[in-house]
Structure 1
């Protein structure tokens, strides 16, 4: 009986390639390197607005201390039509074919990453370790709270105006997103409100800060830092 010869390895058919997909394929996976070993991990929720940029600067000058590391958290909307104002990219392509829609998504992702990097410049200049954490979700409020818990943050800082703040009489209190985070995040939340000309503060001369712990009563009263100084 004749034995079958084993074909040389070079003649064997190639194995199928195995592709591993990350949870958010449009964005590079987050790395723990910049924040490893930090005494505190401070999150700054950003929505790519000027108010978010002010929150980052405020954190650098008034909140962060040696040993801290920062995670800029941005919840990117699942539809670009509900995103931030992202400049000159043509939104008329949104209702065209699938290829155009993909290009629109790619352009928006590129803009988002670039804008987030711009927001991080005060951290770069202050030599504060940081990383940018971008996720996609249609519900910014719930996803922010989820990411805050998942990342194990010591505290989270956010602006109010850029997150849907609404006027209550003559005083601008917490916006819908920031108010939700104050009441549902597992860590303390610091809300920074930038007072511009419409607030009668002469061009944003002084920020107002509200801080609350997740353990506080839902009916707790939040005082502005400016109120304390007036007293």
Structure 2
């Protein structure tokens, strides 16, 4: 994609971010390759929280889950969202302050939530990092980016982090 001037044609770009360095690299790549300083494009930072675990009121030993445990897990989830979004905003801040940035947080199975939100937002482009899993790991775990590339209606750019970085 380098050498292709997409900077003037892009309206709403969704970048899927998570705890990984790969997603922050993809965000940085997006900012350097798809945004210009005078751009009126919107950058949407999308984070997907895992689905909440289904709790039975009693665990295997017959003890009841306390509200404190459930609240602690919910607090951890909120802190993770804030941490990832703050890291992403630091990356954006290094590029320039005139970028229109929106935060969107979904909850559920990442591949389904990403596809749904990208369609709902009528995004022009979806940017995702690649974890670089090999064939076996991808076959066992599946690939969120592969799934999204096949199911969203807009172009998808999967950014691979170079070995040198």
Instruction: Specify which of 170, 176, 197 is matched with residue 143 of structure 2.
Output: 176
Q: Give runs of aligned pairs for residues 41-60 of structure 1, distance below 5 A.
A: 41-60=12-31
Q: Establish whether residue 70 from structure 1 lines up as the match of residue 39 from structure 2.
A: no
SS where residue 146 of structure 1 aligns? helix
- Picking from 114, 120, 133, the partner of 2:89 is 120
Q: CA deviation at 1:96?
A: 5.0
TM-score by length of 2: 0.75
CA shift at 1:158, angstroms? 0.5
Q: Determine whether 1:156 maps to 2:126.
A: yes
2:70 is the alignment partner of 1:101? yes
Q: How many residues align?
A: 137
Equivalent runs, 1:79-98 vs 2, <5 Å: 79=52, 96-98=65-67
Q: Which runs of 5+ in 1 are unaligned?
A: 1-38, 81-94, 170-174, 197-202, 205-231
Q: After TM superposition, where is structure 1 displaced by more than 2 Å over at least 4 residues in a row?
A: none
2:80 & 2:143 partners in 1: Cα distance? 25
Q: Is the 8 A contact 2:47 2:105 kept in 1?
A: yes
For the aligned residues, what is the CA RMSD? 2.1
CA distance in 1, matches of 2:71, 2:160: 36
Alpha-carbon separation, structure 2, partners of 1:45 and 1:117:
14
Higher relative contact order (CA 8 A, sep 6+): 2
> Which has the larger Rg?
1
Deviation at 1:122, TM superposition (A): 2.4
Name the one with the larger helix percent: 2
Within 1, Cα distance between the matches of 2:25 and 2:75? 27
Distance 2:67 2:19 in 1: 27
The question of whether the paired residues in 2 share the 8 Å contact of 1:48 and 1:119 is answered with no
**Which residue of 1 is the match for residue 161 of structure 2?**
194
